[in-house]
Amino acid sequence: MKRAVVAILFFVGLVGIWQAMVSSGHYSPVLLPPPGDVWHYLVEAAKSGELAKATAVTTKRLLIGYFAGCLLGLPLGLLTARSKYLNDTVGVLALGLQTLPSVCWVPLALLWFGQTEAAMQFVVIMGTLWSVLIAVENGVKNLPPLYVRAARTMGSKGTHTLTHVILPASLPYVISGMKQGWAFAWRSLMAAEIFVTILTGVGLGHILHYGRELNAMDQVLGIMLVLVVIGLLADKLLFSPWESFIHRRWGTARN
């Protein structure tokens, strides 16, 4: 309760400072519109349905690409950790590609897929896949062999060991890899949407871009706010439950 009050006071304070800066008259209202204008823009955009549509386009790209990336990265990570040959091939490839900023995939994706959804999803997958793969591989490699041996004495083998011992034991690594993959995917998607017009749908990045072209600062700030909220929601919905499970079970301190 007390924490909620502190948090609310903090954000109200931020808006207050913003409003005070505008009211002081030192700053051009074109560059720094009052909070009310941004709110007004958001309400209008929500009413016209533009905001919901763009949010849907963007989150759909993100979610499809992200889950595809995880679905590929998880088993590949398990396999590269368990096989020397895959480790020397796919493992090295993943390590190299993970260092590549994922926005670098945009030109290639556009040439291959054109200005389409496929291009956007490809970029998101490339952002996700390699981080998840490497995190899973790391988790499995750092696993104490004792767990697998103990499981074997109780009759666990093969796929059962994989799904009931190796995967849950490396959960802390897997989740942090998935989180990193999410961050990469989200950043590269925004970069792509801002710099490239995609013919199959107008995403949040585009609206942000139009905002700049029209010199509509209320629009730019409004969309940025929406992006922040999406980021926070994703964290709360996708990762927080897992993270608190890990903290509870492993007894690691809450960061």
Contact residues: another protein, CB under 8 A: 146-147, 149-156, 160, 164-165, 168-169, 171, 248-251
DSSP SS3 for 210:
helix
Give the length of the chain: 255
User: For residues 251 and 255, what is the distance between their CA atoms, to the nearest angstrom?
Assistant: 12
User: For residues 188 and 62, what is the distance between their CA atoms, to the nearest angstrom?
Assistant: 10
| Nearer of residues 174 and 226 to another protein, judged by Cβ | 174
| Nearer of residues 16 and 168 to another protein, judged by Cβ | 168
Half-sphere exposure of 210 (CA within 13 A, CB side): 12
| Nearer of residues 11 and 250 to another protein, judged by Cβ | 250
Nearest distance, CB of residue 251 and another protein, angstroms? 3
User: For residues 77 and 34, what is the distance between their CA atoms, to the nearest angstrom?
Assistant: 49
Structure tokens at 113: 């897929």
Neighbouring CB atoms inside 10 A of 192's CB total: 26
Q: How far is CA 54 from the centre of its chain?
A: 17
What are the Cα distances from residue 43, in Å, to 22, 40, 64, 205?
21, 5, 28, 18
Nearest distance, CB of residue 177 and another protein, angstroms? 16
Nearest distance, CB of residue 41 and another protein, angstroms? 47
- Which residues, at least 6 apart from 161, have a Cβ–Cβ distance to it below 8 Å? 148, 151, 152
| Nearer of residues 4 and 154 to another protein, judged by Cβ | 154
Nearest distance, CB of residue 184 and another protein, angstroms? 26
Nearest distance, CB of residue 152 and another protein, angstroms? 5
| Nearer of residues 92 and 150 to another protein, judged by Cβ | 150
| Nearer of residues 83 and 252 to another protein, judged by Cβ | 252
Nearest distance, CB of residue 247 and another protein, angstroms? 10
